[in-house]
Amino acid sequence: MVKATRVTNSIRALRFASGEMTQAALGGSIGVTRQTIIAIEQGRYSPSLEVAFQIAHVFGLPLDAVFHYPDPHIRPTSPAGSHHETERNR
């Protein structure tokens, strides 16, 4: 079983915001397969830095607007009724 990466991304949302670009079209524009794009979108594969920059360039965005890595200094809190708040460790 492949361990999922901690890197997340907004590729799927960006593809749909860009006129429903297909995975094949995105892959073709940067020289990777549709299967590679699927694996990156699903968090099963972390792209090389070069591929990550190429994907960001396709959408005209900085790298950190497409790919996200959890901040090790922020941990989730669990106040009643909220699952999305965070608290900075001190």
User: CA 67 to CA 39: how far, in whole Å?
Assistant: 14
**pLDDT confidence tier of residue 4, bands split at 50, 70 and 90:** low
Q: Please tell me the pTM assigned to this model.
A: 0.74
- Break the chain into its structural domains and give their ranges: 8-88
Beta strands in 21-85 (DSSP E): 67-68, 74-76
Could you count the other beta carbons within 10 Å of the beta carbon of residue 25? Answer: 15
**pLDDT confidence tier of residue 74, bands split at 50, 70 and 90:** confident
> Per mean pLDDT, which range of 24-33, 37-46, 58-67, 74-83 is the poorest?
74-83
What is residue 14's three-state secondary structure?
helix
Q: Does CATH place domain 8-88 in 1.10.260.40?
A: yes
Using one digit for the tens of pLDDT, what is the confidence trace for 35-44?
999 999 999 9
